[in-house]
Structures are given as C-alpha cells and as structure tokens.
Amino acid sequence: MSFLQDPSFFTMGMWSIGAGALGAAALALLLANTDVFLPKPQKATLEYLEDIDLKTLEKEPVTFKAKALWENNGAVIMAVRRPGCFLCREEAADLSSLKPKLDELGIPLYAVVKEHVKTEVKDFQPYFKGEIFLDEKKKFYGPERRKMMFMGFVRLGVWYNFFRARSGGFSGNLEGEGFILGGVFVVGPGKQGILLEHREKEFGDKVNLVSVLEAAKKIIKPQTSASEKK
C-alpha cells in the first residue's frame, strides 16, 4: 500500500475527479441546448379552442367563448407568456407590424393573457395593436401546459434572444408568472380550423411573420347571400 503515500497518486485522483465533473457538466450543457428535454407540445383542436372562456378587461368584465374572436372573419391570436417580459413585448411589436396587412385582409389581431397583474396589461398595450383578453384558466396555453424553468437560462438560443431583444430597445420587468410557454394561432372563420399553431419552445422563440401572413391569406371568408345583403 506504499502507493497511497505517493503524493502523485492523490494528484492524479483529483485530476480524474475534476475531469469527470467537467465532462458531466459539458454533457449536461450540451443536452440542455438540444430539444431532448424540451416539453413536447400537444396540438390544440378547433373544438378545444372554441370552448375556452375569455374575459374582457373592463371594470365589469364580460365572459364569452373564444370562438367569438374568429367566428366571422378568422383571427390572429397571441397567447402572451408574460406581458412584462421584454421578449414577449418584442414579439407583440413584431405581430403588430402586420396589422396594416391584416386590416387589408379584414382579419383582426388579438392577444390573451393568463393573469391581470397591476398595470402589466396596460403597459403591454403600446407594443400590441389589438384587443387583449383574459384567459384565467390558461386554456390557450394547453391542452397540456408546457413550462420552461431554469434550464432556459443555460440555453444558447435563449441568450441570443435576450441580446436580440435588448439590442432592439425592448425592456421589461419580473412581474407575474413567466414559466408557462405561450404561442400564436391563426384560426379561420366558422369550421375552417386552425391554420397555424406556433408553440413557443423556449423563452423568446418568436413566430415566423411570413408564416403568419401566409396562413392569414388562406382564410376563407363566409359568403354573404343576396338576402343577407338586403
């Protein structure tokens, strides 16, 4: 057992432990930056979305079924992860840049939030050029809610999104729940169905604006009969 008294034995042992720890950390970082551990989204059905209860944000809120948003003309709807998040404000501003084209198509732009905290929705409105409603039961974030916790802060894509939004002049705060991931929907009128469903896979994973417009242009408006015109 004389080798135990050799200082080089302990030095080699410490190096081995250190190398193993570094290797494990590198592997964990690598896996965190793949989609392996990301929550898999469950596609929503039109019937699921239609039955969601939404509320207006007035002093005396009115409750209505979500299908009223798209029943006649279709709609583009943003499910906001957190109104005070600067990444969400960036995406809201991006979607709002489509408003003139959506107006030409006769398609409204809406947003839903999952909570109404202090002045967060009011502070969000300068970034979003459409009406905003409350989804208290967080149904637009389902059918199976997905969360990104602290793993998000070791993902390179998230840090890229942080820098992109910051360099674009967006700022925010930490008010409210921000771990349940959001998304964007384009829904056709009547029973045309869901034409686009973008589910945020990580913080700041924005919808492709070209895809939104392409989906919006597929919306088929109900034909107005001659008797209805009269």
Position 228 in a domain: no
Q: Which domain holds residue 16?
A: 9-35
| Residues 67, 54: Cα–Cα separation, whole Å | 10
Residues 60 and 26 grouped into a single domain: no
The pLDDT confidence band at residue 224, using thresholds 50, 70 and 90, is low
Position 225 in a domain: no
| Residues 148, 7: Cα–Cα separation, whole Å | 46
| Residues 169, 71: Cα–Cα separation, whole Å | 36
Residue 165, classified by CB atoms within 10 Å of its CB into exposed (0-12), middle (13-18) or buried (19+), is buried
Residues 62 and 115 grouped into a single domain: yes
| Residues 105, 121: Cα–Cα separation, whole Å | 27
Residues 127 and 146 grouped into a single domain: yes
Predicted pLDDT at 8: 54
155 CB neighbour count, 10 Å cutoff:
20
Residues 17 and 106 grouped into a single domain: no
185 has pLDDT over 80: yes
Residue 204, phi-psi category: left (phi > 0), alpha (psi -120 to 50), beta (remainder): left
| Residues 163, 176: Cα–Cα separation, whole Å | 22
Position 191 in a domain: yes
Position 230 in a domain: no
Closest CA to 217 of 190, 193, 195: 195
Residue pair 204/90 in contact by the 8 Å Cβ criterion: yes
Q: With pLDDT > 90 as the criterion, what percentage of the chain qualifies?
A: 68
Position 40 in a domain: no
Residues 16 and 58 grouped into a single domain: no
Position 114 in a domain: yes
Instruction: Give the pLDDT confidence of 110-151 residue by residue, as tens digits.
Output: 999 999 999 999 999 999 999 999 999 999 998 988 988 777
Residues 101 and 23 grouped into a single domain: no
Residues 153 and 82 grouped into a single domain: yes
Residues 95 and 208 grouped into a single domain: yes
Angle at the Cα of 209 from the Cα atoms of 206 and 211, rounded to 5 degrees: 105
Which residues have a catalytic role annotated?
85, 88
Residues 28 and 134 grouped into a single domain: no
Tally the domains of the chain.
2
Residues 109 and 22 grouped into a single domain: no
Q: How far is CA 62 from CA 54, 55, 80, in A?
A: 8, 5, 20
Angle at the Cα of 71 from the Cα atoms of 222 and 84, rounded to 5 degrees: 135
pTM of the model: 0.82
The pLDDT confidence band at residue 229, using thresholds 50, 70 and 90, is very low
Residues 176 and 105 grouped into a single domain: yes
Residues 18 and 123 grouped into a single domain: no
80: domain CATH number? 3.40.30.10
Position 227 in a domain: no
Position 168 in a domain: yes
